[in-house]
Chain A
Amino acid sequence: MNETKALKKESLALMMNEAEGTHQTITADFTELYRRNATNVFYYLYSRVRNVADAEDLTSLTFVTALENLSGLRDPRKFTPWIFTIARNKAFDFFRKSQRHPTVDFDEYLDQAKAVGGELSQTDQDRLRDLDRLITRLSPFDQEYLRLRIVADLSFAEIASILSEPETRIKKKYYRLLERLQAQVEK
């Protein structure tokens, strides 16, 4: 277990001891929980909507909803999967209400990368473009595994909790998905 995760676990365990299920202490620690999760929630939402302004709006909505419903969180140790469950629902609502779909403009991104000095070779550009194309063609569920693991930086246990799927199944699916993608992009 790395330092960040160990720290998180220890701190949350302490919080749980203090809280003893009371709303008061959980609320008092909400700021700390917010600081730990906000960036990853934002990145996750950005990976869904591909727009900074929308991702910021949805991040705000996610945490406000969490705060409003904090009394429903029976186990503070589950805050991270809980907040991502809310974030996912906000993203679903966003697409449902707006009838919008994330747009992908890979060339624009590559141009930006060049502009900030991150010059990519033609081979790297092609490879990333291929990879991006492959990812956008994955099923929504496979795409979600990648977002939750790589963008949201969640553990398999947390992903399992969010998706209500067995952890071992998610691990296997995830690694098989990586193998498949890698094989396809190498071709």
Chain B
Amino acid sequence: MNNINPFEKEIKQTYRLPDANPAFFDRLEAKLQAYQHNPEAKTKHTFHFVRGWVYTAGTLIFLGALVFAIGPSKVLAQIQAVFGFVPNVGLVDTSSPFRQLAEPVSDTRDGVTLDIQSAFLSADGTIITYTMSDLPTEIKHTRFGEPECNLPAYLTLPDGSRIEAAGSSSGNMPDGSYANSIRFSDPVPANFNQATLVFPCLEGTVRGKGPEDWQFALTFKPAPENLAVYPATLIPSQAQIENPVLATVEPATQPRTETGIPVMPAMIVDGDRQEEMVVLSVVEKPDSYWVTWAFPDKSDDGIQRNGYLYEQPFNPVLYDANGTQLPEPNHETQLQLWQYEESLFNQLSGQDQLKYYPHTMYTIVVPKSGVAFPIYAKQNVYERSFPEKEAYVDVEFDGSKVQASDEPVEINQKIQLGSVKFELEAIEKNQFGGYSFLFDGTEGKVVQCQAGLVGYTTNMGGSSSFNPDDPFHFKQAEMYSQIPTGMLTVRVSQPAVLGDLISFIGSWSPEK
């Protein structure tokens, strides 16, 4: 049983778990025992992989196990480069031949065994996977807050140059080992078929306790010609916005209005207004397409905290041309989509990375059959604006009185910043050592503001989450290492005003 702290116990209370009924469990046990002893009942056994096992194993054996035929050779309508989706690798530049590890390399040090399982080299980067096994307990990172090795591995080439890792990830294997992958965004030049992989320390282990400066000599060879590569189209949003001619070569045949917003069936549209969601990429798999939509995330950098211009309390939804809502992917597929999105993100231009990732990019599986095209994706968001960034109002209050009270102390101070009106209803102490300011923004449709004590430096602050059912009652909190008391002044500024409900919509259909 996990040791849970008092706050976790409170969370557990919110689930209001009932008492388990022993009779039910006894009945089920008897049923299962009867089932075990009934051979007829087990004739349905089929070869069945454990899902988690498939995933973790997949990350390790992606080269060895990829024996699928090459997807249909297809000249893609590319705008920048030619991309392909390689399962378990991701979206890669296919403009030059792929290479892979000539043979796995293994070594054991300080009781830890590292197996360099695979490497995948393309024109736009290198991905190396390895397993880490037999980790002694003392170097496993088990306690939150314990110093952890966070130095990624790097590659050195025969000419002495060094390629730094751009990212890494790890996961558990069924046998208790760890499956890891490292991504290098700089390619290994084609004239080098050898490199040394260097681990300054083992990422994720306790800092200073595991092997250090561990080196592995790697040799590369051409990847097999029958490697599965699914056609992928990457569509930089810049091209879609600035160059309408280029936009016409998208695989997406998007019916558009004059404003570029796809015409959606009327029953789908529910926002106050519609804006366009663009298609960033399409992968064609044997039975489906993976279509990634995005709309630009926007924020106002002039706002002290949380200057985002969209509130997103809803999930994206997908409809076909008949207005039928398509089901969400299962968990297994969702994990694959996230992996894919990570690789897609790495291929986006820096501008698009800033614009979309991670909150406004959605990859959706579109079946090739049984769906009426075009399909429509919709993401509803609330717009926010900051009409008064400079104005502020100071409100005095008795901090000692607030700290001494178990209830919020009523203030009921009307506030007007420019044309924006709202009210500071009350102030209460919070457990972290500070003050929470309770606002009613109903009059001016205010959903957030900045509130801080004049003359004191806060060490932490925050605000209540957006509640679509009651958006105009919100809290702002400020915490202090030394709680100020006595007569205090709170400065209220930068109100966020709730605007329209915007439906970001996009449509797509397969290339004719």
Contacts and interface: CB of A to CB of B under 8 A. Distances in A.
Nearest to A159: B172
Interface residues of A, number: 79
A43 B17 contact: yes
A128 B6 CA distance: 13
Nearest to A23: B45
Contact of B432 (A154, A175, A183): A183
B465 A137 contact: yes
Contacts of A38: 25, 28-29
A83 B462 CA distance: 39
B39 to A, nearest CB: 11
Contacts of A2: 1, 3
A187 B462 contact: yes
Interface in B8-67: 8, 10-18, 20-21, 24-25, 28-29, 31-33, 35-36, 41-42, 44-53, 55-56
B53 A184 contact: no
A96 B329 CA distance: 11
B33 A68 contact: no
A22 interface: no
Contacts of A133: 467
Contacts of A135: 11, 14
Nearest to B339: A164
B172 A160 contact: yes
Interface string B135-151: 00000010010001000
Interface in A148-176: 149-151, 153-155, 157, 160-169, 171-172, 175
Given A77-B174, A123-B406, A150 B18 contact: no
Nearest to B431: A186
B25 A88 contact: no
B52 A71 contact: no
Interface in B325-344: 327, 330-331, 335
A78 B4 contact: no
Contact of B331 (A43, A73, A89, A123): A89
B372 interface: no
Interface of B: 1-4, 7-8, 10-18, 20-21, 24-25, 28-29, 31-33, 35-36, 41-42, 44-53, 55-56, 141, 144, 148, 169-172, 174-176, 204, 313, 327, 330-331, 335, 406, 430-432, 436, 460, 462-465, 467, 475-477
Interface of A: 2, 4-5, 27, 30-31, 34-35, 38-39, 42-43, 46-47, 52, 56, 59-60, 63-64, 67-69, 71-75, 77-78, 81-82, 85, 88-89, 92, 96, 106, 109, 112-113, 123, 127-128, 131-135, 137, 146-147, 149-151, 153-155, 157, 160-169, 171-172, 175, 178, 181-184, 186-187
10 contacts: A42-B24, A60-B31, A63-B28, A68-B41, A68-B42, A74-B174, A155-B2, A169-B169, A183-B432, A187-B477
The 8 lowest CB-CB distance pairs between A and B, nearest first, are A72-B48, A187-B477, A75-B174, A186-B431, A187-B436, A132-B14, A109-B16, A166-B170
